[in-house]
Structure 1
Amino acid sequence: MRRIILASASPRRKELLRQLIGDNFLVSPSSYEEPPQPDLAPEELLIRHSIGKARDVAKHFSSGIIISADTSVLYNGEVLGKPNFPEKAEEMLKKLNGRKFRVVTGLTVLDLDSAQEISESESTDVWMSEMDDEQILVYVRTGEPLDKAGAFAAQGKGAVLIERIEGDFFNAVGLPLFRLGKILEKLGVSVFDESFS
């Protein structure tokens, strides 16, 4: 069985990858710093960051397949990252309140054995329901919006804020499983392999 390495400390990504291949992977968080690159389109920037994360983790392994991802929320051409304090989360949620936006992930799969590197992006349209200021404050007080792209968790309490999703739901959580499965297939790895069950 090929060794799979997830270049992320995200519990959401770990859980999603577990859905796909069970517990048959290592977790090796990247120490890659995400430099701002205003000249790049958001999709290109997220792919660039996912490549940076994968290559950073690759330094520590001689074989295996490294999976890395970088997810952001895009609204009106603005990239909304992860708020690290409640006021920022509240500000983001007020921007997205009652509106449609996109969740975009840059995904890189790096096969150290064949020296193949495949990078793609996935985009999902999301419609957030309308909330009043008090509802936003109550949600922010749960602590869930902190350190989540766009200040919400589609797989958590934030699910009740999401009116509709068009595209890959798992991408809205942080790891586009359909696209990841297709990339792994290109590298000769099937998620239906008995060793992953």
Structure 2
Amino acid sequence: MIVLASQSASRRAMLEAAGIPFRAQPAHVDERGLELALGEAPSQQVGLELAKAKALAVFAPGEIVLGSDSLVSCDGRRFDKPVSRDQAAEHLRFFAGKVMELHSAAALVRDGEVLWADGALARLHVAPLSDSFIAAYLDAEWPAVAGCVGVFRIEARGVQLFERIEGDYFTILGMPLLMVQAALRNLGVMQQ
């Protein structure tokens, strides 16, 4: 059994569906503070550092802790989860017709030691979005997407935002699950 350092329903659902035994214990990390400290670091590095910080923040002696994080960047600008419906609409207007890069990272930690950390990238080609589409989308999806970086749930109406997607489904859901499984197998936690 591993410890998932997250409250994310999506990450819990991925582990459950994959048959990976876990218990969830949310990590308490100042994500925005860590992002500020990393300054202009590439989004991939920021995601990895956040995933490690979350795993390291959970006290679980002798157990493997899984931390994960996702970041969205578009046109060189990093985006966080929207704090209001108005900000969600602003984000969607900015993304419209552009390529959104979703960086998803994970880390495995035991007793304060990072055993493995890696990340994956998905490129999501956003369709042109009218203001009326954005309003109707948020009428249907808000506040469910308030906790979603990128303002979408790919498993719901969020799929309507995109014309094309490059990257695996799990990365888009918020954790590079295939990479995590491989790392857990290499650590002897999962059978090969």
TM-score, normalising length from structure 1? 0.88
Which consecutive aligned stretches of 4+ in structure 1 deviate over 6 angstroms post-superposition?
none
CA distance in 2, matches of 1:158, 1:149: 12
Kept in 2: contact 1:4–1:67 (CA 8 A): yes
SS in 1 for 2:117: strand
1:18-48 deviations in Å (ceiling 9; x for gaps)? 11125x2100000111121214221111111
Query: In the TM superposition, what is the alpha-carbon distance from 1:173 to its structure 2 partner?
Result: 1.1
Q: How far 1:170 sits from its partner (Å)?
A: 1.1
Partner of 1:55: 56
Q: Offset at 1:145?
A: 2.6
C-alpha separation between the residues in 2 aligned to 1:174 and 1:55? Answer: 19
Kindly provide the amino acid, as one letter, of the partner of residue 152 in structure 1: F
Instruction: Using structure 2 for the length normalisation, give the TM-score.
Output: 0.90
Deviation for aligned residue 1:190: 2.3
Report how many residues are paired: 186
State the superposition RMSD in angstroms.
Answer: 1.7
- The alpha-carbon deviation at position 78 of structure 1 amounts to 1.0
CA shift, 1:189, in A, is: 2.4
Q: Which amino acid aligns with 2:8?
A: S
DSSP 3-state at the match of 1:149: coil
Unaligned runs of 5+ in 2: none
Corresponding position of 1:195: none
Q: Deviations over 1:127-161 (max 9, x none)?
A: 12222111101112231331210111111111122
| Matched-pair contact (CA < 8 Å) for 2:61–2:110 | no
Question: Which amino acid is 1:64 matched to?
Answer: E
- Give the distance between the partners of 1:81 and 1:20, measured in 2 at CA: 28
* Structure 1 unmatched ranges of 5 or more: 193-197
Deviations 1:79-112 (A, max 9, x none): 1110021011001101111221211012101134
| Contact kept? 2:5, 2:24, Cα under 8 Å | yes
Whole-angstrom distance in 1 between the partners of 2:30 and 2:114: 23
